[in-house]
Structure 1
Amino acid sequence: MIQKYPVGIQDFGELRTGGYLYVDKTEYVYRLATEGKYYFLSRPRRFGKSLLISTLESLFLSKRELFEGLYIEDKWDWTQRYPIIRISFSNIGHKEKGLYQAIDDQLDKIAESYAIVLTESVISGKFKELIEQLSASRGKVVVLIDEYDKPIIDYLGDETAKAIENRDVMKIFYSILKDADPHLKLVFITGVSKFSRVSIFSDLNNLTDITMSQHFSGSCGISEQELESCFEEELKVYDKDRIKEWYNGYSWDLSTSVYNPFSLMHFFREGRFQNFWFETGTPTFLIKLAEKGQLYDFEEIEIGGNALSSYDIQKLEIIPLMFQTGYLTMKSCSEMSDVYVLGYPNKEVRKSYIEVLMSSYSHSDLGFGVVYVDKIRQYLEKGEIERVEGILNTIFKSLPYELWQGENEHFYHAIIHLTFTLLGVYVQSEVQTSDGRMDALIRLKDYVYCIEFKLDESATKAIEQIKAKGYLTPFAYEGKKLIAIGINFSREKKKVEELKWEEVNF
């Protein structure tokens, strides 16, 4: 261990006094504190939102000792101290108490800490009264709300009614903020999603959404420059390109790309590449939405800008949710229209999401896909092509019989695509779309394989297509064996009926 990494540390004071590494984000904090008043920021879980909230709290409490040597130290008026109302919806006990009661208890607790007695009985009234009393006795109030949407996300999918109920409670709670403007210094709200922004904050129409602002794109996450300056010694030990491949790639403005801080810190502490962020909890409703919508290819997804942040709890749209929760990120944008192209941010997310999706589609245990895909890789590396057919049929045998009723071809296409996309995580591979291009290209040390799939046709026809369209031509001078593989799947037998291969020479 080269440095003391703040894995799981979300408290700015603990981080700064405990000798942990801190990537200085106080330039963004300074902008938030001086350039505006009402902010909303959406970022995926474990991306540093809570630490940003804690940093703002320490700043407005004028804890100068915590900011020594940081960007903001000589730019802030440390003689000013502000009252803080800070609520984190991830730990107020909304599941045990119910959201309304949890908020009520939290307001009483904050009031007690300032020796204030609240007389109002409803949460909106209590919130307003707390702000007004704090403002009258201690100056303008800073309101910091972390994970505002947790009470909704926890109930998405199977408990929509509870999610709607909690949304309505929060709408009541936030309704007083606009009229409280004379008493407020700053309002900063964070969350994972923006799906309820219109309905929850409809009365707070002066809230500035900085989620996709280029001025705050690096406020959470670790940029390339920050990686090089803060992890100089680590980069002498570990392969920077591999680190980038695994954990970089997130962008909310198409100009700044950041690393997942949770995964990066874990990697440097553990010293091995694995799925750190993903394994901490993937919302099951995302997987259910994908299977319900028969979606399995999430590369180069096009979507309008408005759709990224606007949809209904009662009609969940998977692509905006995957973008906001960090499973997809911006790759490009049309200059002529407000259309964005999305894709997986990095290897960690791509590999893990495909594994989970493959497990869901095949109705098998998680990890099933990795085992069989790795066997395919081993056979192809050895040139034992005939053994691939058996593995593919083993995968298809796992599908419950009822999924094939009505000649359902969807699961065939899904499993084939996910199998070879997952294979592409382990080897240099390209899986193309079904628009006339090759189905799969796999490049190994001694072989280049081009694979074409057919349904109720013939493996020979698939090989003829590979040769006729010259799919292997670009690799003629690499000094490797070029193999065309044709695979025909039988709809009637629900299995690979024919697998043929042929070496292609130029």
Structure 2
Amino acid sequence: MLKFPYAISDFYTLRTQGYRYLDRTAAIPTLEDAGKQLVFLRPRRFGKSLLLSMLAHYYDINMAGEFDALFGDLAIGNDPTPEHNQYLILRFDFSKVSAKGDIEAIQHSLFTHLNQATLDFTQRYQHLLKYPVNVMEDALGSLQSLVDVVKNSGQSIYVLIDEYDNFANEVLVHDVGNWQRYYDLLESEGIVKTLFKIIKAGASEGKIARVFITGVSPLVLSEMTSGYNVATSIYLEPRFNTLCGITHVELAGLVEEVLQDCGQDAVQQTSVLETMKQFYNGYRFCEQPDSALLYNPTLAFYFLRHYQQACSPPRKMLDGNLAMDASRIRYIANLPDGASVIGNILDEQNPVVLPYLENQFGIEQLHKLQHDARYMVSLLYFFGVLTIGGLAGELDELRLDVPNRVIYALYVEALREKALPDLADRRQVEGLAKQFYQTADLQPLAHYLESSYFSVFNNRDYRWDNELTIKTAFMSLLFDDTYYIMDSEAALKRRYADLLMIIRPDMRRLDALKDIVIEFKYLSLADLGLTAEGVRGQSREALQQLPAVQTALQAALRQLRDYQQVLVEKYREPQRLHCLAVVALGFERLIWVTLG
């Protein structure tokens, strides 16, 4: 049975215990040519640690005797570079540094990690060191002693730093509006900047041969221009777009193997690939619009491991290991203008467009993060919850998209939590949504929207234009990827349905579920010539007969007839399809008609 390296980032384990490794060694010569000190940014759980582990085993002088076993059948095996197995590897993993407590506590955690890495280094390479390394309470002094001893022993170091920005990002995200701890970490003589000054000096003096740094965002780099201004940033270069992540061709091969073990045919393979594409694909890490879109490897392996065991997809499409990404969205949503930015991101017919990604997030720029949408969406890109969708407009500006349905669900949940902070309210909404999935009867949901949700939703920084607010309110209540592939502004023969709820292929066995498509129209109180009290005082039947309401309903029904034809042809279950035309009268009442 195919062994997936889920949550395994040790290259040696993968290669010696029969796990599937998606070969990235062909990039090694290109990485060497790119520079001596490199910075490579990717979202969490995208394979950065495995990449570093592969580089560590390739360049480690101690691993020379196992080169053929580890690399012989990989792309680099037949033509290795002269630098293979030439260095002493010094690895740091800053995800192990706690961001809790004051600056002294964080410094203690960082120093503990640096000293542990130094001790591990001396134990692995003591046979090559002519002098002892002085490990002291000041871990920066320990590092200085280490690089000096290696140089004086006639050896060279390759420094690998994983998640360089992790603890600093945690400080920033969890201290919204209070940046003192973040400032203390990164001020002119802060511990992080001093650490990188030592690395920079070691490289300039020939004590450190190469440096490879991974992280999520450029937040910390912006504060290190004087301490570490020698690195080459390669994270937006097209040639490294696929360095981490899974391509569609690679995924198709894995799916084929899994389905063969389950005794399933090519028809099922097409369905599985389409589901995985909807939920996990969509990441692009360069500005070339024809570059490959990638799958998140952690999510893909999560899905495939479950399928391997049950021969069906998991009920929950979001792996808990990625749920932390929701905190990044909540961080932006809780900024003064953040909720409006999140709402605009969900308007897929009007994508977010930027002339370029902001990559300077120094202390002096943090105030811009409060109100400047460009800074917010740029940071969301680096967090992995937006991606480069392509180019847009006459000026070929960057279009930033939500990469897939799993990430879309995180945005929706952030809005739902902000509008309904009380857990009991959210549980009530879940019950109403499940009832709607089975009946397509809008009455209970409409009553809740009119009596409670619209007033809350529209007053909590969600004051966008008309129809978008209504659509987003519905989406935040109804979104559920356990049962549905849900899409806002879904393309159907070059026209766009406002909200499409199609039952997941593996859930179509549940006869109770309905396929649902909703077309929204919005009429302001001014359009109606009525006051809020006047709208609330009339029956739904009377409001439905108003000329403006009838016109809006008929327009929505015409669109729904086109969508209905397309969906019936595709899914061939007309009895399950329910098409609703919904007209919002301000934020007071809802009028709807079901297409017969």
Alpha carbons of structure 1 residues 5 and 360: separation in structure 2 relative to 1, 3 Å: same
Secondary structure at 2:78 match in 1? helix
2:192 pairs, out of 140, 147, 170, with 170
Query: Is 1:331 paired with 2:389?
Result: yes
Contact 2:26 2:75 in 1 (8 A): yes
How far 1:484 moved relative to its partner?
A: 3.1
**Letter matched to residue 16 of structure 1:** R
Correspondence for 1:396: 453
Secondary structure at 1:73 match in 2? coil
2:240 pairs, out of 216, 220, 224, with 216
Contact 1:37 1:187 in 2 (8 A): yes
Query: Is 1:139 paired with 2:155?
Result: yes
1:84 pairs, out of 89, 92, 110, with 89
Q: What CA deviation, in whole Å up to 9, does each residue of 1:297-319 have, x standing for no partner?
A: 31411123142x22245333431
User: Which runs of 5 or more structure 2 residues have no equivalent in the other structure?
Assistant: 127-131, 308-312, 370-374, 503-513, 529-534, 536-542, 569-573
Correspondence for 2:353: 302
The equivalences for 1:205-354 within 5 A come to 205-234=229-258, 236=260, 237=264, 238=269, 239-253=272-286, 254=289, 255-271=291-307, 272-273=313-314, 274-276=317-319, 279-282=322-325, 284=327, 286-291=329-334, 292-293=336-337, 294-295=339-340, 296-298=343-345, 299=348, 300-307=351-358, 309-313=359-363, 314-315=366-367, 316=369, 317-334=375-392, 337=395, 339-354=397-412
Find the aligned partners of 1:259 and 1:193 in 2 and give their Cα distance: 19
Find the aligned partners of 1:278 and 1:410 in 2 and give their Cα distance: 33
Alpha carbons of structure 1 residues 415 and 6: separation in structure 2 relative to 1, 3 Å: farther
Alpha carbons of structure 1 residues 3 and 422: separation in structure 2 relative to 1, 3 Å: farther
Secondary structure at 1:297 match in 2? helix
The equivalences for 1:378-457 within 5 A come to 378-380=438-440, 384-393=441-450, 396=453, 399=456, 414=469, 416-420=471-475, 423=478, 426=484, 429-431=487-489, 440-442=498-500, 449-456=518-525, 457=528
Find the aligned partners of 1:351 and 1:446 in 2 and give their Cα distance: 19
How far 1:451 moved relative to its partner?
A: 2.2
2:433 pairs, out of 370, 373, 378, with 373
The equivalences for 1:114-125 within 5 A come to 114-115=125-126, 116-118=132-134, 123-125=139-141
**Letter matched to residue 219 of structure 2:** F
> Could you say which structure has the higher helix fraction?
2
Secondary structure at 2:325 match in 1? coil
**Letter matched to residue 593 of structure 2:** W
Find the aligned partners of 1:368 and 1:327 in 2 and give their Cα distance: 28
User: What TM-score comes out, normalization by structure 2 length?
Assistant: 0.72
Contact 2:11 2:50 in 1 (8 A): yes
Contact 1:42 1:190 in 2 (8 A): yes
Alpha carbons of structure 1 residues 94 and 440: separation in structure 2 relative to 1, 3 Å: closer
**Mean Cα displacement is larger for which, 136-145 or 158-167?**
158-167
**Mean Cα displacement is larger for which, 251-260 or 68-77?**
68-77
Find the aligned partners of 2:166 and 2:84 in 1 and give their Cα distance: 35
**Mean Cα displacement is larger for which, 137-146 or 34-43?**
34-43
Alpha carbons of structure 1 residues 217 and 264: separation in structure 2 relative to 1, 3 Å: same
**Letter matched to residue 356 of structure 2:** G
**Letter matched to residue 304 of structure 1:** P
Find the aligned partners of 1:283 and 1:476 in 2 and give their Cα distance: 34
**Mean Cα displacement is larger for which, 32-41 or 253-262?**
32-41
Contact 1:5 1:20 in 2 (8 A): yes
Correspondence for 1:467: 554
How far 1:362 moved relative to its partner?
A: 2.2
* Number of equivalenced pairs: 487
* Identity between Structure 1 and Structure 2 (%): 24
How far 1:411 moved relative to its partner?
A: 12
Alpha carbons of structure 1 residues 86 and 369: separation in structure 2 relative to 1, 3 Å: farther
Alpha carbons of structure 1 residues 87 and 422: separation in structure 2 relative to 1, 3 Å: same
Alpha carbons of structure 1 residues 441 and 359: separation in structure 2 relative to 1, 3 Å: same
Find the aligned partners of 2:200 and 2:17 in 1 and give their Cα distance: 39
Find the aligned partners of 1:44 and 1:67 in 2 and give their Cα distance: 27
Alpha carbons of structure 1 residues 73 and 342: separation in structure 2 relative to 1, 3 Å: same
**Letter matched to residue 284 of structure 1:** S
Secondary structure at 1:24 match in 2? coil
Contact 2:580 2:592 in 1 (8 A): no
Correspondence for 1:493: none
Contact 1:364 1:398 in 2 (8 A): no
**Letter matched to residue 419 of structure 1:** F
Correspondence for 2:585: 488
Contact 1:463 1:484 in 2 (8 A): no
Q: What CA deviation, in whole Å up to 9, does each residue of 1:402-445 have, x standing for no partner?
A: x959x98579975751423664763665449xxxx999354777
How far 1:7 moved relative to its partner?
A: 1.4
Alpha carbons of structure 1 residues 99 and 81: separation in structure 2 relative to 1, 3 Å: farther
Secondary structure at 2:353 match in 1? strand
Correspondence for 1:69: 73
How far 1:86 moved relative to its partner?
A: 0.7
Contact 1:451 1:485 in 2 (8 A): yes
User: Which runs of 5 or more structure 1 residues have no equivalent in the other structure?
Assistant: 491-495
Find the aligned partners of 1:91 and 1:471 in 2 and give their Cα distance: 54
How far 1:337 moved relative to its partner?
A: 4.0
Find the aligned partners of 1:94 and 1:427 in 2 and give their Cα distance: 37
Q: What CA deviation, in whole Å up to 9, does each residue of 1:112-134 have, x standing for no partner?
A: 43453238875555434422321
Find the aligned partners of 1:138 and 1:371 in 2 and give their Cα distance: 69
**Mean Cα displacement is larger for which, 89-98 or 250-259?**
89-98
Contact 2:158 2:209 in 1 (8 A): yes
Query: Is 1:108 paired with 2:100?
Result: no
Contact 1:363 1:398 in 2 (8 A): no
Find the aligned partners of 1:370 and 1:303 in 2 and give their Cα distance: 36
Query: Is 1:161 paired with 2:204?
Result: no
Alpha carbons of structure 1 residues 204 and 427: separation in structure 2 relative to 1, 3 Å: closer
**Letter matched to residue 192 of structure 2:** M
Contact 1:4 1:19 in 2 (8 A): yes
How far 1:352 moved relative to its partner?
A: 3.1
Contact 1:430 1:441 in 2 (8 A): yes
**Letter matched to residue 243 of structure 2:** S
How far 1:210 moved relative to its partner?
A: 1.2
